Structure 1
Amino acid sequence: MNPVYDFIQRNRVLAIVEKAQSSNARSIILEDFDLIQFPLVILNCQCLNYLNISHNNISELPHDIVQLKNLQHLSLEYNNFTSFPKVLKNLPQLISINLSHNPMKDLSSDLGYLLSLETLWCNSCCLTQLPDEIGNLKKLETFGARHNKINKIPDTIGGMQNLKWLTFEDNSLYTVPPSFAELQSLIHLNLSKNNFSYIPTEISKIKALRYLHLQNNELFTVPDKTVTDMPHVKIYLQNNPLQPDNERIFPNVIITGRENDILDLVAQDSDSSSDDWDNSVDSSDINYSGSESEESDIEEVLSNIPKLSKYIIPS
């Protein structure tokens, strides 16, 4: 990295964090600052509730991050974590974590210590499996694991009784465990772009379910009994090798139509609410930012530091 550019970036970070510390700010956003290490000065911000250090090149978190006793929301997406940061188990107060777009192959059993967790994103992380301890997350409501290589869901997932929004889109799944039927709070389930050749009967037993996405799988027929048991569920089956007359027989089964129309269908449905699952947007589009006043403070700090980086040619 160009030393002048590095100097400017480090001082911009320092100015933002010092401003947050002096004002007892509850949020800090250090997105896309070309950081390769976690800025230790952040540990002085004891009031911190939300921390966003996404779009950097950080590969580990300091053990002293445990000092941030008030931290509840943490965004680590688009960094260089090759494994689940084990130090996070010492922050049991965390409510939401975004780990998406990191080259991780597993989530580690330490995930099971985060008993307050309500939202977990781990899209595009090279995951091949999930730990059994994921069932310990009794308060989890939103779980996103798109674009991984997961081929099996642990049976312990049935313990996630508060789960409402779940996506395993673009993995290698072909079945679900028996305990899947215990996810009785689940409203939105996305299993598109997997290897399902049938609709698991466990899914039909989820009474709260309203949206089931199974596009781009390997279904050749629509099982009469399973679909009959789910008259209240919109079932999306685009891009499966199905017979087109199934759409006439089952009005809640959608076989034709553009895939981009799906979000519109969800938004228009009378059973959906404005709060439901952020309309299935990618994790990088979810807004975890702090209050407008805190954001304006950050902009004020940045405006006092010359942004010379655009004039610098990296060496």
Structure 2
Amino acid sequence: MTDKELLQLIEQAAREGATEFDLSGKDLTALPAEIGKLTQLKKLILGKYQYNQKGYIVGTIGNNLSVLPAEIGLLNHLQELQVVANNLTSLPEEIVQLTNLETLYLSRNQLSSLPQEIVQLTNLQSLDLSRNQLSSLPQEIGKLTNLQSLDLSRNQLSSLPHDFGKLTNLQTLDLYDNQLSSLPNEIVQLVNLQTLDLYNNQLSSLPHDFGKLTNLETLNLSSNRLSSLPEEIVQLTNLETLDLSSNQLSSLPHDIVQLVNLETLDLYNNQLSSLPEEIGQLQKLRHLDLRSNPVPIPPEIWGLKELCQNPGDVSEILDLYFRVEDLS
């Protein structure tokens, strides 16, 4: 799109008092100052995700913006700003004037830091910073107390601020593909978390009070360095999916039976030589992956009705053998 065409679109949107404006996929390298005229905008899209019919992300439609003009701060009615799949290396300080923002998507850019002032966007409910180059977060990120969804995946984070624990309304937290070697103890204050993804970090332990996250339904700890689990993990009685694959676990807590709502338990590629007999009491289990462990199939598994609905059915049992890959 030429500069002239872009200015014409902006002028038309200003005349019409547009509340939504989608400029994704226009090959933009710059956004003119005239964007500040669209003071009625509630939703501005400069790059977005593509979804399939099931709601899964299948691609992006972006631009080539490396900066946003200071005039972006004039759009003080904005509730949603999407700048997915661009080349942003920084954010203008004026972005903090967008105090009505509830949704901010900045995925797939080249951000290495965030302005400290971003914590003033206290109405944010959904913040997507995935696939950037962030190595740290503002120390006062805990001021974003209305956040319900935070995606920090595929960055370069090695630690989280202690204020992280103040994000008590978070329901979904994505931290996969970072460089976290530990979690702040304050993370256990995120008592409304339902989904926590820590795949592919460098965690060797979990906070002692991890069991306080009692609303967790999905927990992904795959591809870390865990050699043991805190006993308190069995307090996560709402867990439906627990992924512990590709760690260094040699045993599981005997009280794992308390995770009565587990439907999926992935233990692939650990060092388990035995399983607690109590595993046979997890009656909701539908999927159990024990491959690449030096563990025999425990007889208690045959009592898991959801996993093996017809214990006498030879095909069911053989299928389980293949999935479990008995190495005894």
Identity of aligned residues (%): 28
1:36-185 correspondence runs (5 A) = 36-54=29-47, 55-185=62-192
Aligned to 1:30: 23
Relative distance call for 1:257 and 1:16 in structure 2 (3 A) is farther
- Match for 2:144: what amino acid? L
* 2:215 and 2:236 in contact (8 A); partners too: no
Could you tell me which amino acid in structure 2 is paired with residue 61 of structure 1?
L
Change (3 A) 1:238 1:205: same
Q: Secondary structure of 2:132's match? A: coil
Give the strand-richer structure, 1 or 2: 2
CA distance in 1, matches of 2:70, 2:256: 58
Give the match for residue 223 of structure 2.
216
Q: Which runs of 4+ in 1 moved over 4 A?
A: 243-251
- Stretches of structure 2 lacking an aligned partner (at least 5 in a row): 48-61, 270-285, 288-328
8 A contact 2:234–2:256 mirrored in 1: no
Aligned match of 1:310: none
Structure 1 window deviating more from structure 2 (33-42 vs 23-32): it is 33-42
Identify the structure with the greater helix proportion: 1
Could you say which residue in structure 2 is the equivalent of 1:202? 209
Whether contact under 8 Å (1:170, 1:192) holds in the other structure is: yes
d(CA) in 2 for partners of 1:247, 1:169: 28
Residue 97 of structure 1 aligns to a residue whose secondary structure is strand
**SS across alignment from 1:131:** coil
Aligned AA (2:10): V
Evaluate the alpha carbon distance shift between residue 140 and residue 166 of structure 1 in structure 2; reply closer, same or farther with a 3 A threshold: same
Residue 95 (structure 1) shift: 1.1
Q: CA deviation at 1:53?
A: 0.9
Structure 1 unaligned regions, length at least 5: 1-7, 259-263, 266-315
Residue 226 of structure 1 corresponds to 232
The TM-score with structure 1 as length reference comes to 0.72
Query: Which has the greater radius of gyration?
Result: 2
Decide whether the 8 Å contact of 2:205 with 2:226 is kept in 1: yes
Q: CA offset at residue 81 of structure 1? A: 1.8
SS of the aligned residue for 1:138 comes to coil
**CA RMSD in angstroms, aligned pairs only:** 2.6
Higher relative contact order (CA 8 A, sep 6+): 1
Distance 2:110 2:254 in 1: 40
Q: Which one of 17, 27, 30 corresponds to residue 10 of structure 2?
A: 17
Give the TM-score normalised by structure 2. 0.70
In structure 1, how many angstroms separate the alpha carbons of the residues matched to 2:15 and 2:194?
43
